[in-house]
Every structure is written in C-alpha cells, then in structure tokens.
Structure 1
Amino acid sequence: MKLHQLRTLIAIAEAGGVRGAARVLKASPAAITKSLRQLEESVQMSLVVRTSSGVTLTESGQALLVHARLMAGQMTRAQEAMNALRGATQGKLTVAVTPWIAMTFLADTVTRFCERMPDIRLEFFEGLLSVANPRLRDGSLDFFVGRPEPGAFGVEFQYRPLFSSTCALVAREGHPRANCHSLADMSDLDWVLTWDPVSENALADNVFTRYNVPVPRKIHLTHSLSIAIALLKKTDMVSVFPWPLVEVSAAKEGLCAIPLREQLDDAMVSVISRTGHPASAASECFIECMIETIREGCDSSLPETRHVLQSVELLI
C-alpha cells in the first residue's frame, strides 16, 4: 500500500465516486481508477462496489478507510510540525465544539487565535461525542471541546479538564410547571436532551436516584441544539442546559429556567483528543486562547459578560 493510493480511497469515499475524487485530487478519472485498482490488488480484496450512481465502500473498504485517514492525518500533522519548526505556520486545525460553547466562548477565542496564527485555517464541527468520536478515531479531528463520556476515561482518548458549569432545567415561557420547585413534579413530562445516550443513563442514575425521584417517562435525544430549542418552544418538554447557554439564549428564544430545589449535576468540559497523538502548536494555541477568553470574561467590566460566565469555574 502506498500513501497516494490511500488518499485515493479517502477521496472516493468523501466524493462518492471516481469523478468526484479526480476533481478533489486534481487527477484524471483514469489515474484514480488505476490507483484504486493497484490498492485492491495490494490488499487482495475488493474495496468498492460500483453502481449507476457512483461507488460505495465494501466492508473491507470501510475498515481500510479508518486506517487510511489515520495515516493521511499523521502525515499532514508531521508536515505541519516540520513547518512550525521552520517558522512556517501554515496548515489547518480541525475542532469540534458543543453548540453552547459555540454560542458563548468561540467567537472571542477564534479572534484571539487568528491574531496569533493568521496562516492557520480553521474547520469546525458542531456536535456531541456521537459526532466527535468517529472523527477522533480516524484522525480527521484534532480535538473536541465538550462533555466527556461518563466513565470513559480509558486508553483510547485523553481528557484535559478545562472548566465546569452549573446546569438548569429549562422550558418554554408560560410552561404549566414553570414555577415548580421539585424535580418530582417533572417526572411525568417528556424530556429532550442534547446529550449522548450514555449521558442520559448517567442523568437517570445520578440525579433521579440521588433524590429518590421517578425517572421521567420518556427521555428523547437530539444531536442538534436548534432542534432542542424548537421542541422546547412549541411543546411542554423540558431540557437541561448549562447556565451560560441559559444566559445567552433563554430570553431570546422564549425559554425560562425552572427554579428547582434540587441541584443538577455540573457540566464538565474537557479537551478530548486521541491518545498517542501529540498536540500541535496550533492546538495548544487554540486551547490557550479559549482559557484566556474565559478568564478575561470572568473579570470583564461588562456586566452582561460577567453574568454569562458567573457559573463557570476554570479547572486548570
């Protein structure tokens, strides 16, 4: 197997066909087909299935694609590391962030980062672990800033705690339970969470068991903050938001925090990356910029900024 052949496989998978891969790699379709055929001969397996609408990867092709992305990513990172040592900081940094971080700290962090590393291109993904984990595994993501998976501190990923924030139960303004104070009053409602399934189970095990309250009759999951907000605005569902998100979005979206007596678990945010992959200079710079943004925000002379960050506690 040769690296250019693996890049061919990646391009075919992402473009959905030979012609699309040829455009991406700036090569002829014949050259792409030849490179793919040589790769299939090398592994002695069929990697794609050709259809009238394009190509799809076989099971073997999908398995090899994971390794191909890792190898291509490592080569790119190695080149960027060498460029950095030469004083040339060109390259790309790929980051995933949860939606509420995008709405609070991200813009100021990016502004600060671009001033320090003007030649680095940024690529962002919005999502949770269900989005970030596959990209961390295949090397197409440098790191993820978000909630770690409960009990997942193992060998696959490394976690660097950044900060924690208190959380609130939210619902639409005018919700029939908007002035309730007990978690028990919410157990017959439908909940919608922007968390992963394992986090949902952790919520049920920790919060409701701790206060001896029945688990809600139905917990829906969404991987989109906009979907969660749309559902909350038009239904009697409730959800759990970190307080910074409540501060920046509740009034604007017609939502409110329910004044519970019980305390919900804090949301801990970490930098999550693949174990064994050293952080690039750009990664370290971006994380440093985010930490500085939060620190300065906590000491800001602007009341609205301090208000948003009053529930955030830096862990480093």
Structure 2
Amino acid sequence: MKPNHVETIVAIADAGTIRGAALVLHKSQPAVSNALKNAEDGIGARIFLREPTGMVPTEIGHEIIARSRTILNELRRLEEQVRQLQGELVGSIRLIVSPLAAIKITPQSIIAFKRKYPKVSVNIDSGQSPSAFVQLRRGDADLVIAPAPATPSEEIGLVCEHLFSDPLLFITGAGSKFADVESVPELNAAQWLMFGPKEREPIIQGYLSKLGFELENPMTCSDSVLSVMGLLAISDMVCTCPQSLFDQLKGTWDVVQVPFEVELAPVNMAVITSSTRPPTSVVMAFKEVVLKEAKSAPQFTQ
C-alpha cells in the first residue's frame, strides 16, 4: 500500500463515511473512493462494507485499520524527528496518565517542559494498565505515566523507569456504613469502586483476594476521578486509593480513610515508553523532565 492509502483507510475509519473522510483529507469523494479501491485491490481484501449507516470495517478490515494507524503514527513521528534533528523544537507528544499522575506529577512536568518547548503540542488522555499499555505498544501514545506493570508479561515491549512509590489506602464516604470497620471480613459485602478501565478489574480483584477479601459483587470501574469521588461521597461504596490522591481530594469530597490496619503494597508509579518504537527527541526530553520532577519532589518516596 502507498502512504495515501494508509491515510485514506484511517480517515474513513474515523469518519465512518466516504464523505466525512473526504472533508478531513480535503479531497473529493471520488478520489477517496478510488484510493480505497486501490488499497483493497493491492492488499487483496475488503476493508470496509458499504452499509446504509456508513462504512463498516470487515473482520480483516479491523486488523488493517489498526496497523494503518500504527504506520500513520510512525510516519508522523519520522517527520517530526527529522525536523527536531534539524534543530526545530516542534512536534507533538501524546500522553496517557493515571489519576494520581494527573494530579501529582503531570502538571508540574508540562509547565517545566513548555518553558523550553513552547511549540510542541502536548495531548493528554486518562488511563492506566492494561489498556494504556496496549495503546503505547500500538503507537497511539508516546508515553504513559501510571502504575508500573504488575506482571512480567505486562511489561513486554515496554521500558519502565520508576518515579515514586505512594502508600495505598481504602477510602469510603464519610457517612458510609464501612467508615469505621476494623477487619477485612467486615468489607466483604461492600460494593467496590475502582480507578481505571474494566480490563483492570481482575488485577485488583486478585490483589484483594490475596489480602483475604471474598468479593461478592463485580466492581464499578471508571477512569474519571470525578465519577469515583462523586459515588463514594453519597454511598457505602469502597475504593482503593493512593494516599497522595486522597490527600488532594479529601478537602473537596466528603470521603474518609477506612481505619483498619492491613498491609497494602504501595503504588509504584513509572514513566513508560515503548521498547520497539524509538521515541522522538521531544518525547525523550519530556521523559527527562518527568524524571527530574519526580526526583525533586520531597513528598514522594523514591
């Protein structure tokens, strides 16, 4: 396939229609349709089906679209890296940050970075393992700031550098019936909340099981800090939370730490890049800023 075919495939996938892709690409609809036909002929497979609702990817098409996104992202990075090597401080960085990172390390890092690189675009999405690592490997993100991979298999294809460790707490609403419990069994009937995507639930469930919890109900999962804290404040739900994040939020939300003593492993925060996809110069510069900010922050346990 030619580069314009890759661009066309991604544009159609994003827009959902030939017309929408034509608008994005600033081309005529016949030109986009012709590019798609040439791509499908060249690869020997149908990528989209034309349905009344728009362009629907085929089963093979989903794989082609995913790889096309990777190719397009790498072409963008290549162009940016060449300009950076020629002395231009331009380009873009795509970050995925966890809730703790969003509050405790990312803001300071971006401010420090933008002082030196004002023309570099920084785009931030929320998330953490495992979905954030999938996006990093696929090339949809340049860098992740989040809890480090929990298993060796999760770390495959990644480069992780430790930032800081933060104690983990159980928290609940101030009016919750679980606000004063003193033992693990008393929390077994609790409805649990979790920061992160649904795919992260088995990791947290396995960790809580090792601590002696017998979870009776599925977890409610959200990447949104506002959603989690809003639910905690008006319910009996319980959530694990890094202490730094709790300290930052407890003044705004009516939440408390569950007081019973149980040995919880700390959250080990890391800055993570791909081991198979070389970062651009500005991504590496941003990574160095993050490492420096974490090292100079006295409230973190290194």
TM over 0.5: yes
CA distance, structure 2, for counterparts of residue 171 and residue 154 of structure 1: 32
When residues 196 and 126 of structure 1 are mapped into structure 2, their CA distance, relative to the original with a 3 A threshold, is closer
C-alpha contact (below 8 Å) 1:165/1:313 kept by paired residues: yes
Name the residue aligned to 2:36.
36
Name the residue aligned to 2:260.
260
How far has the Cα of 1:257 moved from its partner?
1.1
Name the residue aligned to 1:222.
221
CA distance, structure 2, for counterparts of residue 3 and residue 226 of structure 1: 41
Paired AA for residue 156 in structure 1? G
When residues 14 and 4 of structure 1 are mapped into structure 2, their CA distance, relative to the original with a 3 A threshold, is same
CA distance, structure 1, for counterparts of residue 57 and residue 200 of structure 2: 32
Deviations 1:126-153 (A, max 9, x none): 1223542342233121121112342134
How far has the Cα of 1:234 moved from its partner?
1.9
Name the residue aligned to 1:287.
287
Q: Structure 1 residue 313 and structure 2 residue 285: aligned?
A: no
Deviations 1:8-67 (A, max 9, x none): 101111111112211222212121111111001101211111122321211111111121
Paired AA for residue 141 in structure 2? L
Name the residue aligned to 1:193.
194
Deviations 1:102-139 (A, max 9, x none): 12322221111111111110111112235423422331
Paired AA for residue 76 in structure 1? R
How far has the Cα of 1:195 moved from its partner?
4.0
When residues 56 and 148 of structure 1 are mapped into structure 2, their CA distance, relative to the original with a 3 A threshold, is farther
Segment of structure 1 superposing worse, 191-200 or 264-273: 191-200
Aligned ranges 1:223-262 → 2 under 5 Å: 223-224=222-223, 225-262=225-262
How does the TM-score come out when normalised to structure 1?
A: 0.87
When residues 274 and 221 of structure 1 are mapped into structure 2, their CA distance, relative to the original with a 3 A threshold, is farther
CA distance, structure 2, for counterparts of residue 11 and residue 132 of structure 1: 23
When residues 217 and 109 of structure 1 are mapped into structure 2, their CA distance, relative to the original with a 3 A threshold, is same
Deviations 1:68-95 (A, max 9, x none): 1111111211222211111012111101
Paired AA for residue 175 in structure 1? S
How does the TM-score come out when normalised to structure 2?
A: 0.91
Name the residue aligned to 1:301.
none
Name the residue aligned to 1:303.
none
When residues 198 and 14 of structure 1 are mapped into structure 2, their CA distance, relative to the original with a 3 A threshold, is closer
How far has the Cα of 1:276 moved from its partner?
1.1
CA distance, structure 2, for counterparts of residue 24 and residue 130 of structure 1: 31
- Give secondary structure in 2 for the equivalent of 1:291: helix
CA distance, structure 1, for counterparts of residue 131 and residue 296 of structure 2: 30
Deviations 1:259-281 (A, max 9, x none): 22112121112223333112222
C-alpha contact (below 8 Å) 1:153/1:159 kept by paired residues: no
Segment of structure 1 superposing worse, 226-235 or 150-159: 150-159
C-alpha contact (below 8 Å) 1:193/1:219 kept by paired residues: no
Name the residue aligned to 2:123.
123
How far has the Cα of 1:157 moved from its partner?
2.9
CA distance, structure 1, for counterparts of residue 131 and residue 202 of structure 2: 19
- Give secondary structure in 2 for the equivalent of 1:262: coil
When residues 71 and 204 of structure 1 are mapped into structure 2, their CA distance, relative to the original with a 3 A threshold, is closer
- Give secondary structure in 2 for the equivalent of 1:96: strand
C-alpha contact (below 8 Å) 1:169/1:258 kept by paired residues: yes
CA distance, structure 2, for counterparts of residue 140 and residue 181 of structure 1: 44
RMSD (Å), alpha carbons:
2.0
Paired AA for residue 313 in structure 1? T
| Percentage of pairs with the same residue | 21
Q: Structure 1 residue 55 and structure 2 residue 43: aligned?
A: no
How far has the Cα of 1:197 moved from its partner?
5.7
When residues 133 and 264 of structure 1 are mapped into structure 2, their CA distance, relative to the original with a 3 A threshold, is same
CA distance, structure 1, for counterparts of residue 66 and residue 242 of structure 2: 34
Aligned residues: 300
CA distance, structure 2, for counterparts of residue 161 and residue 168 of structure 1: 21
Note the residue ranges of structure 1 that are not aligned, 5 or more in a row: 299-308
CA distance, structure 1, for counterparts of residue 47 and residue 197 of structure 2: 32
